[in-house]
Amino acid sequence: MEKVSGYVEHIIYRNEENGYTVMVLVCDGEEVTCVGTLQSAAEGELIEAEGGYTEHSTYGRQFQISSYEYKTPEDELSIERYLGSGAVKGVGMALAARIVRRFKGDTFRIIEEEPERLAEVKGISERKAREIAQQMEEKRDMRKAMLFLQQYGISTALAMKIYNQYGASLYQIVRENPYKLADDIAGVGFKAADEIASRVGIHTDSDFRIKSGLLYVLAQAMTEGHVYLPQPELMRRASELLGVSLEAMEALLPDLAIERKIVIKDVPGAGQGSDGEEVRVPGVYSASNYYLELNTAKMLHDLNISAEISEEAVQRRLEQIEQETGTKLEELQKEAAAAAVSHGLLVITGGPGTGKTTTINALIHYFASEGLEILLAAPTGRAAKRMTEATGYGAQTIHRLLEVSGAVEESSAHTHFERNMQNPLEADVIIIDEMSMVDIFLMHALLSAVTPGTRLIMVGDVNQLPSVGPGCVLKDIIESERFPVVRLTKIFRQASESDIVVNAHKINSGEHVVLDNKSRDFFFLKRDEANIIIRVVLALVQQKLPKYVDAKPYDIQVLTPMRKGLLGVERLNTILQQYLNPPAPDKREREHAGGVFREGDKVMQIKNNYQAEWEIRGKYGIAVEKGVGIFNGDMGIVREINTYAEMLTVEFDEGRFVDYSFKQLEELELAYAVTIHKSQGSEYPAVVIPLLAGPRMLMNRNLLYTAVTRARKCVTLVGSAEVFYQMIDNRFEQKRYSTLKERICEWNV
């Protein structure tokens, strides 16, 4: 470990979010380029740093800082340099020179103990003297806080967040209840707080620790799609995490309820009691989740306004639409149209080929002829694009419809939308497609921006996989039986000619599909070894399918049930990248997390980033439209890797360009192959599905049905026919703890 000591001459770059800094340090008259996490270091500061020299491929020799400490400038030249560096607002080099000329080596003591004497210097009023002293005190307090927090293993970036949140009270909070950090500071979870607590010396059976652990378990359950946990399940999970007694945990649940951090309410249990009554158990919700469901249920009821409409007039108008568009509506489609006209809220559900799009088109024609303002939206960019192509009417993502803002709401980790109760959507009719993908958070945000009197029509396939986020919104709304629901069941003649559609319905009903490859769009290639399956997949994607469906290899999507394993996403992407986008002299690369991103790669955003800025570029690369927000599941192509600026540029759907710093690359992954879960809401010209044995809870009918219905022109399964039939027979669906249905049914109608 080497040491360097000197003053900060110039800060070249600083990431304000994490404190990563590139700067020039003057050490004994020699300039040294240093890199490291130094959130609060300013030009003119005197620091002593430990670390080592490294050789950067572009920038040459650098000193990589692993730890550092501030030194108080002692000689007059160093004091003058620090004060005049800009570290103290309102003090330039000339004024700094006058201050040091007046007070010499005693300057810092004067500022700290007798700040009013600064007014003796020409150009400094008493007010300015106080301001200079206050700034110096704040910087001293910040440095003291940084040193205090670093002794507990807290990174500089996190230390800055803690300091900004609590100020001088951070000492008491960290020593007495570091678990408060997990409640108050975004990015600090229970485990980070628990590690700090162990270093502070807080006991494992501390009330603070148990409460924080219980809340952490509830938060983690949301990542599995749960809105709440039954109390026995919460206790089981928390016991594994905390290693404390059941009695100690149960004793603190009432305290959390009194503090309004949780809500405990009886929920449906498994099975029935001896008297035939439904068994109910206590369910534990985070308070925000409980009221999210409750308010969602209320807003759904508020929208469900009936109107007296002449059925004959509706039917006459539908007949006119049939003549104008050259389409023939069947009875259920007409029923859906009539329900949409006479109700404020409507659900239309059905599988592939049952005429959902035709029904949407008929509704658009109907409402447009009435002069009504119509908005169309879907959860993902790809689904919105499909909706636009199918209707000829502009659709957008729900996030863009609600005008997502880069700001994060203070009271939660969730995003902020400009459209809300105070600024509702200006529309008479709103039609949302792919409703199975909408989670409870997005549903609540959408309903908050819809005023009663606006018609909300929700369209989706309830048999698709549930949303990635928590809840079973579409399923719960339908099963509540409190709102109009039209189920489209008839497969239309044109769709019935597609074996993709026919076989999807067979899979959904548990019927075995004949695998004789006599179809034009549904193929099964029987192979039993993973490496042979991969070779077949490569041949299909590279050579056979692009010609067959008139598409580029980029448009052919490989879908797989799993992330890990011989046919998992991670291994498949490495191999597919090697063949579909091999290294080339004209393609720049960037190594990341054991893999490589290369110009031309197909990639996917794997987390919601509400602050990410995008722009649509016109001629000569000039931005013609800008916005914020890139979301989990968005797919694009790596267009440029700039090693000098350490930036990677991705072009997403709709021509949206996003720049990523190399430190943000954990938000991206290769997408030549994606999990079936991640493919929700998307449609591809052709999909290839490798199938071998996997976990029974994953390899189920629901997953297979979703995968098959992602293909527009051709689906090819490669692998074991036995596994294929086992998935059809396996009706297992992981239980989601959601009670939107119960909240809906509680409202009197």
Most confident of the ranges 30-44, 59-73, 503-517: 503-517
Q: Which residues carry a binding-site annotation for ATP?
A: 353-357
In the predicted model, what is the mean pLDDT of residues 143-151? Answer: 73
What pLDDT is recorded for position 742?
Answer: 94
Rounded (5°) CA angle 520-522-523: 100
What pLDDT is recorded for position 411?
Answer: 37
Same domain (yes/no): 447, 476: yes
Question: In this structure, is residue 115 part of a structural domain?
Answer: no
> What distances in angstroms separate CA 264 from CA 154, 302, 579, one per listed residue?
35, 26, 54
| pLDDT of 284 higher than 70 | yes
Same domain (yes/no): 22, 10: yes
pLDDT greater at residue 361 or residue 175: 361
pLDDT per position as a tens digit, 51-70: 999 887 777 889 998 888 77
Domain boundary among 243, 274, 300: 300
| pLDDT of 572 higher than 60 | yes
Question: Among 1-5, 176-180, 420-424, 570-574, where is mean pLDDT lowest?
Answer: 176-180
**Strand intervals (E) in 255-368:** 262-272, 278-286, 345-350
Burial of 260 by CB count in 10 Å (0-12 exposed, 13-18 middle, 19+ buried)?
A: exposed
Look at residue 516 and give its three-state secondary structure.
coil
What pLDDT is recorded for position 261?
Answer: 93
CB < 8 Å & 24+ apart, contacts of 216-223: 216/182, 216/189, 216/190, 216/191, 216/241, 217/241, 218/262, 218/284, 218/285, 218/286, 218/289, 219/189, 219/286, 221/737, 222/289, 222/469, 222/470
User: What is the C-alpha to C-alpha distance for residues 435 and 426, in angstroms, rounded to an integer?
Assistant: 21
DSSP codes joined into one string, 393-462:
S-EEEHHHHTTEEEEEPTTSSSEEES-SSSS----SEEEE--GGG--HHHHHHHHHT--TTSEEEEEE-T
User: What is the C-alpha to C-alpha distance for residues 463 and 359, in angstroms, rounded to an integer?
Assistant: 19
Cβ atoms within 10 Å of 725's Cβ, excluding its own: 13
H/E stretch holding 319 reads: helix 311-325
What pLDDT is recorded for position 335?
Answer: 92
Cβ atoms within 10 Å of 404's Cβ, excluding its own: 22
pLDDT greater at residue 233 or residue 189: 233
In the predicted model, what is the mean pLDDT of residues 584-588? Answer: 93
> Who's near 242: CB < 8 A, 6+ residues apart?
204, 209, 210, 213, 249
User: What is the C-alpha to C-alpha distance for residues 595 and 575, in angstroms, rounded to an integer?
Assistant: 11
> What distances in angstroms separate CA 120 from CA 84, 129, 743, one per listed residue?
18, 10, 70
What pLDDT is recorded for position 157?
Answer: 67
> Of 464, 430, 460, 470, whose CA–CA distance to 447 is shortest?
430
What pLDDT is recorded for position 206?
Answer: 85
Q: How confident is the model at residue 311 (pLDDT cuts 50, 70, 90)?
A: confident
The CATH number of residue 239's host domain is 1.10.10.2220
pLDDT per position as a tens digit, 677-707: 988 878 899 999 999 988 887 899 999 999 9
Cβ pair 430, 455 in contact under 8 A = yes
Cβ pair 340, 456 in contact under 8 A = no
**Strand intervals (E) in 556-608:** 556-560, 589-592, 595-598, 602-605
User: What is the C-alpha to C-alpha distance for residues 6 and 557, in angstroms, rounded to an integer?
Assistant: 55
pLDDT per position as a tens digit, 712-740: 999 999 999 999 999 999 988 778 999 99
Same domain (yes/no): 474, 520: no
Structural domain for 555, as ranges: 499-582+595-729
In the predicted model, what is the mean pLDDT of residues 102-119? Answer: 85
Residue with the two structure tokens 């030009």: 43
**Backbone φ/ψ region at 394: left (φ over 0), alpha (ψ -120 to 50), beta:** beta
Cβ pair 447, 709 in contact under 8 A = no
Q: How many helices (H) and strands (E) does the chain have?
A: 27, 30
User: What is the C-alpha to C-alpha distance for residues 716 and 686, in angstroms, rounded to an integer?
Assistant: 8
| pLDDT of 410 higher than 60 | no
pLDDT greater at residue 225 or residue 619: 225
Same domain (yes/no): 650, 714: yes
Cβ pair 463, 725 in contact under 8 A = no
Same domain (yes/no): 576, 697: yes
Most confident of the ranges 321-325, 558-562, 654-658: 558-562
Question: Among 97-101, 114-118, 129-133, 268-272, where is mean pLDDT lowest?
Answer: 268-272
Question: In this structure, is residue 198 part of a structural domain?
Answer: no
Backbone angles phi and psi of 280, in degrees to 5: -125, 145
Question: In this structure, is residue 101 part of a structural domain?
Answer: no
Same domain (yes/no): 503, 604: yes
Q: Which residues carry a binding-site annotation?
A: 353-357
Q: How confident is the model at residue 18 (pLDDT cuts 50, 70, 90)?
A: low
User: What is the C-alpha to C-alpha distance for residues 554 and 540, in angstroms, rounded to an integer?
Assistant: 12
User: What is the C-alpha to C-alpha distance for residues 127 and 135, in angstroms, rounded to an integer?
Assistant: 13
Same domain (yes/no): 402, 548: no
Same domain (yes/no): 534, 474: no
Q: Pairing mode, if any, of strands 429-432 and 455-460? A: parallel
User: What is the C-alpha to C-alpha distance for residues 233 and 285, in angstroms, rounded to an integer?
Assistant: 12
What pLDDT is recorded for position 409?
Answer: 45
What pLDDT is recorded for position 570?
Answer: 94
Q: How many folded domains does the chain comprise?
A: 4
Question: In this structure, is residue 238 part of a structural domain?
Answer: yes
What pLDDT is recorded for position 748?
Answer: 59
Residue ranges of alpha helices (H) inside 167-206 are 170-176, 180-184, 190-200
Q: How confident is the model at residue 86 (pLDDT cuts 50, 70, 90)?
A: low
Burial of 658 by CB count in 10 Å (0-12 exposed, 13-18 middle, 19+ buried)?
A: buried
Domain boundary among 492, 523, 558: 492
H/E stretch holding 615 reads: strand 609-617
Per-residue burial over 547-579, b = 16 or more CB atoms within 10 Å of its CB, e = otherwise: ebbebebbbbbbbbbbbebebbbbbbbebbbee
> Of 602, 590, 603, whose CA–CA distance to 632 is shortest?
603
Same domain (yes/no): 608, 648: yes
User: What is the C-alpha to C-alpha distance for residues 491 and 401, in angstroms, rounded to an integer?
Assistant: 32
What pLDDT is recorded for position 42?
Answer: 76
| pLDDT of 236 higher than 90 | yes
Domain boundary among 49, 70, 91: 70
The whole-model pTM stands at: 0.78
CA dihedral sign, ordered 150, 152, 155, 161? negative
| Per-chain mean pLDDT for the chain | 88
Question: In this structure, is residue 645 part of a structural domain?
Answer: yes
Same domain (yes/no): 285, 257: yes
CB < 8 Å & 24+ apart, contacts of 51-59: 51/1, 51/2, 51/4, 52/1, 52/2, 53/2, 57/643, 58/643, 58/644, 59/33
DSSP codes joined into one string, 287-307:
HHHHHHHHHHHHHHHHH--B-
Question: Among 156-160, 298-302, 329-333, where is mean pLDDT lowest?
Answer: 156-160
User: What is the C-alpha to C-alpha distance for residues 399 and 629, in angstroms, rounded to an integer?
Assistant: 8
Token code pair at residue 2: 């080497």
Question: In this structure, is residue 561 part of a structural domain?
Answer: yes
What pLDDT is recorded for position 176?
Answer: 78
End-to-end CA distance of the chain: 72
User: What is the C-alpha to C-alpha distance for residues 428 and 420, in angstroms, rounded to an integer?
Assistant: 16
| pLDDT of 407 higher than 70 | no
Most confident of the ranges 60-74, 159-173, 326-340: 326-340
The CATH number of residue 545's host domain is 3.40.50.300
Percent of the chain with pLDDT over 70: 95
Residue with the two structure tokens 């809500």: 263
Question: In this structure, is residue 354 part of a structural domain?
Answer: yes
Same domain (yes/no): 314, 291: no
User: What is the C-alpha to C-alpha distance for residues 444 and 448, in angstroms, rounded to an integer?
Assistant: 6
Question: In this structure, is residue 239 part of a structural domain?
Answer: yes
Same domain (yes/no): 527, 638: yes
The CATH number of residue 32's host domain is 2.40.50.140
Residue ranges of alpha helices (H) inside 167-286 are 170-176, 180-184, 190-200, 207-222, 231-242, 246-258
